[in-house]
Structures are given as structure tokens and as C-alpha cells.
Chains A and B, each alone.
Chain A
Amino acid sequence: MRWGRRPAEDADDAVATEVGVELRDVGHAYGERVVLDGVSLTLAERRVGVIGGNGSGKSTFARLLNGLVVPTSGTVLVDGLDTRTQVRAVRRRVGFVFQDPDAQIVHPTVAEDLAFGPHNQGLPDDEVARRVEEMLERYGLAGHRDHPAHLLSGGQKQLLAIAGVLAMRPRRIVFDEPTTLLDLANTRRVARVIDELEQDVVVVTHHLELLGGFDRVLVVEGGRVVADGAPGETVPWYVARMG
């Protein structure tokens, strides 16, 4: 179990393509307000969880991983690509699922929304259509192909949001509190979906039970990573700390 800061170890491997995600002394501030400070670590595990209280900086942490937020100090490298200068390439590699699926579904109907990401990637129409079909089948949305997205249930909306990201075939996916707005049944369903993904995933969450089979869990507090290790160690530590 590692505590506090962890020095950047693989600095020289930055140009290699399989180093995973590396943060080097990363800080982020919104104006005067510092939300992350001095975070250095490498994420190469298949399943990484991030937990911490409201306002701890974990949401900003998640956004750093695909360049939605660029660090105000330090560097974030995704497979050796700098999120500051190669943000488009980074975003092709790292999908992002938001807490509120309503904020992520941008097209009025299910099939149209699924086509959005692949189309942006410049894929030919028949390939886009194939991916849409694949996602409709895989997530039980085939009966809702032409339905307006707002008529889906909360759980179905989140599945659509996830499917919309998967249709772009990213190598890794960051989830920002994917189950916060869901009921228990849908939380379990989304947990299962995440579990079955072949991609590397980083999940920011308040639902600790999601992290059972994870390889590594980070605890973020006051803009710093205060604990880092296997879930069997960090999760009980975090729970105990919360009193």
C-alpha cells in the first residue's frame, strides 16, 4: 500500500504507446481555488477506482485524464501523449462517461445519438451503422432505435450514454460518478456493464460496492491523493476515516 504522493517512475517511457496514464506533479486551480495539487502517479491497471468526498477534486482528476481539463501545472500523459498539446488524439483513446446522462446525450433519438461519436471520428457511414447496431443489440436498446432519448428510463439513459462512448472504441474509459443518479437495480446493472468491459477503466464514485473487483483504488482528499492501493486496503481505510 502506497501513501501520499507517488513519484513518477516511468518518465523515460513517455514516448512508448503502452505506458498507460501518467500524471507528473499535476496541479489544477480555478482562478484562486486550488482543486488538485502535486499529484504524481501512473495508472496502468485495468480497473482503477477513485473515491473521496464532495469537492475533494476527484471530478477534476477524472477530467484531467482525457484532456477535458488541462493541468495548470505539471503534465498528464496518456500513452505518452500530452493532454495539453495532443488533446484530440488523447480523447480518441479515452472515453468519458458523465454523471448525468442527460448532459451526454446530444441527439434526439437513440440511434442518432449512438452514431454521433463514430461519425465525429470520420468513419464511413456503413461502419458507423454497424457500430450503432452492435451497441443497440449489446445494451438491449434495439427496440428503442428511433425512440426519443427522453422517453428512456434513467438506467437506459445511462446505458445509452455508455454505449455512445463504446461505439467510438476507446482504449480506456473514465466514468465520473456513473451511478450517482441511479436506483439500486440500475446501479448493479451499470456495475455489471463496467465489469464486462474489455477496456481499461477509471471509475470515480461514491458507491464503494462498485470497487470490489478493482485492481487499485485512490482516495482523493483536499486535492491530493491521500491513499493508493488495493481496494481491500484503501476502501476500509477510507470508511474508517469517514467515521
Chain B
Amino acid sequence: MLSLYVPGGSVVHRARAGLKLALLAALGVGLFLVESPAVMAGAVALATAVGLGVARLPWRALAVQVRPVWVWLAVLFVFHLLVTDLRTGSVAVLRLVALLVAAAVVTATTRVTALVAVIEWLASPLRVLGVRPARIGLVLAMTLRFIPLVAERAARIREAQAARGAVRLRAGMAVPLLIQVLRMAATVGEALDARGADDAPARRPRRRTAVAS
């Protein structure tokens, strides 16, 4: 669900994560500066071509990320038809589709660790405030790890309550679930210590080759 990364060796895969994110950010800002449906359609085509053609992603890898919002996009389109006009509506919708596809391409071709490393880098000025960027990266990675875990434990508790005859007990489910995952998180805290998280070097170690040269 959250590992949207699709392994591959294309130019897009090998491009630096920071570059990809910067381009995505530039696209996000750039597309809001123009109001032309043709440009938006071109952006959608370009993002799709990069994803399917250059990065050789299966179309499903992109569809999976766009699918959850298509109803929302349709509603937005109808809203614009009613309130503004066809042109504004198509610009708004195509712009979002272009950004969604572009973001999907970046996400599908970039390992989470690489994205997290970029965020660590962006956070490095915070070092002045006593924040350790490596820990930010760790927390981000842990969150991605926890999401399916929390969903899974929630499903298990729902099953357990259903087995005891509770058909619909949403609020009653929350308390045992929270206590269970809080306990788990406390153990994860121990595991972090056991695996040397508080031992982490202040700076990422350099590659040995870089040191040698």
C-alpha cells in the first residue's frame, strides 16, 4: 500500500531524489502560474510519458495513486461547470492530474530512504536548534512502517470484537487499539536503543571510496 516504489534501473530511477523532488516542486509552482488548458494537458502527457516511457513503470503503478481521487476530481469538475466555466474547470482538474501523475512517478521511482534523506538534508539547518536530522529520517521511516501495522492491528481488534458479538463498536474499538499500539511503540523504543539508534553518528558516514580518493 505504502511502498509505492517500483524497482527499476531507468534514468528516472537513478536520478537523485533531491533533483526529482525539486522538479516536482517546480512543476507544482509553475502549473499554478499558468491558466492554459493546453499547457495542463501537455503537462499530463509529459508526466505520463516520463512515467510509462522513460521510467518504464507499469501503468497500474500510476493508476493506483490517481484512482483514490478521481471521484473528487469529478466533483471538482462539476463544481466548476456549475460555478465557473468549462475552461477553468478543465485547467483545475488537469493541473491536479498532472501533479498527481508527476508525484506518482517520483514516488514510484524513488526509494523511501532516498526521499527521507532529502528531508533530512532539508532539515539540517535545524541542527542549530539541537535537532538531529538523522532522527527525523528515522521517525519518517518508522511512520511508514507503522501505517500498515496500525491498520492490521485495527482489523484484528475489529475481528475480535465481532467474534464476541459486537457488530458495530467503532469508539469501543479505539481504546484497546490505542493501548495495544502504545505498548508496542514503547517496545519499539527499546528496540531502537538495542539497535543503537541513540548511538548513531552525528553525520552520515562517508563512502570509503570517497575518503580514499
Contacts and interface: CB of A to CB of B under 8 A. Distances in A.
Specify whether A and B are partners.
Answer: yes
Interface of A: 63, 66, 68, 88, 91-92, 95-96, 98, 100, 102-109, 112, 116-117, 119-127, 146-150, 164-165, 168
Interface residues of B, number: 37
A126 B206 CA distance: 9
Given A107-B141, A108-B2, A108-B145, A68 B194 contact: yes
Contacts of A105: 145
Nearest to B198: A88
Interface stretch (B99-107, B165-173, B182-190): B182-190
The 8 closest A-B pairs by CB, nearest first: A120-B196, A103-B187, A96-B194, A150-B148, A108-B144, A148-B3, A122-B201, A124-B208
Interface string B178-213: 000000100110111111111111000111110100
B205 A124 contact: yes
A91 B196 CA distance: 7
A108 B3 contact: yes
Nearest to A99: B187
Contact of B208 (A63, A68, A127): A127
Contact of B112 (A92, A112, A117): A112
Contacts of A125: 205-208
Contacts, number: 113
B3 A104 contact: no
Interface of B: 1-3, 5, 7, 111-113, 138, 141-142, 144-145, 148-149, 152, 184, 187-188, 190-201, 205-209, 211
Nearest to A102: B149
A123 B205 CA distance: 7
A121 B196 contact: yes
Contacts of B138: 106
A104 B191 contact: yes
Nearest to A147: B3
A148 B148 contact: yes
A103 B184 contact: yes
Contacts of B206: 124-125
A127 to B, nearest CB: 7
Nearest to A107: B141
A109 B112 CA distance: 9
Pick from B144, B192, B196, B207 the residue with the most CB of A within 10 Å: B196
